[in-house]
Amino acid sequence: MTVAIPQTLREALAFSSANPNAQIIQGGTDLMVEINFNHRKPTDVIALRRVEEIRNYAYTADKSKVIVGAGLPYQKMEHGEIAELFPALAQAARTVGSPQIRAAGSIGGNLGTCSPAGDALPVLSALNAEVNLRTETGSRDISVHDFMIGVKRNDRKPGELIISVTLPIIQGWQGYAKVGVRNAMVISVASCCLVVDRKLGAISVALGAVGPTIIRCRETEQWLATQIDLKSISAVAPNLLKEFGERIANESKPIDDHRSTAAYRRHAVATLSRRLLVRANTK
């Protein structure tokens, strides 16, 4: 086994282009578990921990968006500027694992693994994030919706590195909530991210752990926009709230497994989405 430890992004891209089947490791909080279980036996590894260029964030030139490095650990999203700009991302980051995991784990890794229970992913989906991929010679930006293609499957091509995600700054309330069977350090049983865009008068709702990949509830989003004026803050009538939750649940596609039941998961996303909508319309 060879381990490349590039110090710069350029070096990293050179390594990955030269060895497109090398296994990328960022925080290792998913990969090392898989290696320990013998699910993966990498022969060549590229470790990104030293690549500082992907461990920070920056505004786009027009300041309308923020580019978050794929290697930025969750810990750095919990507080500070990122948390102020993207509260839902901060909340999702705080629910990930333990302090040790949050010191190492990253959005790049969450996208790389692409588990339906990945906590950053519903937020990326609700924010309509773009995933920025790069090789030594080229780059492409792809909508997160197109990037996530199935249970633990994504659109990354051999040799590509996820270098960042681009998140639009949205005026309006946003939040993330996750149900697990204990109060911390738990894999999601069901989760929901809700983002209100007050300028456009639009809402987006994304669900985690209730389908093969993250589910965007587009029908319900459009329906709600016809029911209330999302450009202003106003209380949502109880019957509307109820229907909202039911519609969200209908868009979910959960299964029964050892962590929970499909019925509970449906109930949970209905409840979480209603609660988030109420929070959005009281603040």
Partner 1 sequence: MSNATKISTNRDILGASALRPDGAAKVSGKFEFSSDLHAEHMLWGATLRSPHPFARIISIDFSAAYKISGVEAIITAQDVPGKKTYGLIASDQPVFASEIVRYVGEPIVAVAADHPETCRRALAAIKVVYEVLTPITDAEVALLPQTLQIHPDGNLIRHQRIVTGDQDLQGDVIVEGTYEMGMQDQAFLGLEAALAIPDSGGAGVEMYVATQWLHEDQKQIAACLNLPLDKIRLTLGGVGGAFGAREDISLQVHCALLALHTSRPIKMQYSREESFYGHVHRHPAKIWIRHHATRSGVIQRIESRMVFDGGAYASTSSAVLINGITHIQGPYKCSNATVDGFAVRTNNPPCGAMRGFGVVQACYAHESQMDKLAVACGLSPVEVRLVNAMVTGDKLITGQVVESVAPVARCITETDSIAMPAPLAHDANALEIVGGSGLTSLPHNIVRGVGWGVSIKNLMYSDSFDDFATARCRLQDGVVHLKYATVEVGQGFVILAPQIARSVLGVDEVVIDPVDTRIGSAGSTSASRQTWMSGGAVDGACRLVRQRLFEHVGKLHDIDPLRLVIEDTDVVDMLGDFRISVIEASTGVLFEETFEHHHRPTEELDANGQGNCHVAFAFVAHRAVVDVDVELGLVKVIQIATAQDVGRVLNPIAALGQIEGGIAQGLGLAVMEEIVLDNGKMRNPSFTDYLLPTALDAPEVVAIMIEEPEPQAPLGAKGIGEPPCISVTPAIAAAIRNATGRDLPRVPIRPQDICL
Ligand X SMILES: Cc1cc2nc3c(=O)[nH]c(=O)nc-3n(C[C@H](O)[C@H](O)[C@H](O)COP(=O)(O)OP(=O)(O)OC[C@H]3O[C@@H](n4cnc5c(N)ncnc54)[C@H](O)[C@@H]3O)c2cc1C
Residues that bind ligand X in the complex, under the rule CB under 6 A = 23-31, 33, 48, 70, 95-97, 101, 104-106, 108-110, 112-113, 118-119, 156, 161-162
CA separation for the pair 129, 65 (Å, rounded): 10
Query: Among 107, 268, 277, 280, which residue sits at the site for partner 1 (rule: CB under 8 A)?
Result: 268
Residue 36 CB neighbour total at 10 angstroms: 9
Minimum separation from the CB atom of position 242 to partner 1 (A): 12
Minimum separation from the CB atom of position 264 to partner 1 (A): 4
Classify strands 2-4 and 44-47 as parallel, antiparallel or unpaired.
Answer: parallel
Nearer to ligand X by Cβ, of 208 and 245: the residue is 208
Alpha-carbon distances, residue 275 vs 84, 101, 131, 194 (angstroms): 21, 28, 29, 10
Kindly identify the residues of this chain, within the stretch 175-234, that bind partner 1 according to CB under 8 A: 175-187, 189, 191
With binding defined as CB under 8 A, does residue 89 bind partner 1? no
CA separation for the pair 234, 10 (Å, rounded): 50
The listed partner (partner 1, ligand X, none) that binds 258, CB under 5 to 8 Å by sort, is partner 1
Length of the chain: 283
Minimum separation from the CB atom of position 75 to ligand X (A): 12
The listed partner (partner 1, ligand X, none) that binds 30, CB under 5 to 8 Å by sort, is ligand X
Taking contact as CB under 8 A, which single stretch among the options 17-25, 144-152, 228-236, 263-271 is the one that binds partner 1?
263-271
Phi-psi region of 10 (alpha: psi -120 to 50; beta: other; left: phi over 0): alpha
User: Which segments of the chain are extended strands (E)?
Assistant: 2-4, 23-25, 44-47, 57-59, 65-69, 130-134, 139-143, 148-150, 153-154, 161-168, 174-179, 190-197, 202-208, 215-216
Nearer to ligand X by Cβ, of 214 and 236: the residue is 214
The listed partner (ligand X, partner 1, none) that binds 112, CB under 5 to 8 Å by sort, is ligand X
Nearer to partner 1 by Cβ, of 25 and 209: the residue is 209
Minimum separation from the CB atom of position 115 to ligand X (A): 7
Kindly identify the residues of this chain, within the stretch 12-41, that bind partner 1 according to CB under 8 A: 37-38
Nearer to partner 1 by Cβ, of 18 and 184: the residue is 184
Q: What's the CA dihedral at 268, 167, 77, 177 to 10 degrees?
A: -10
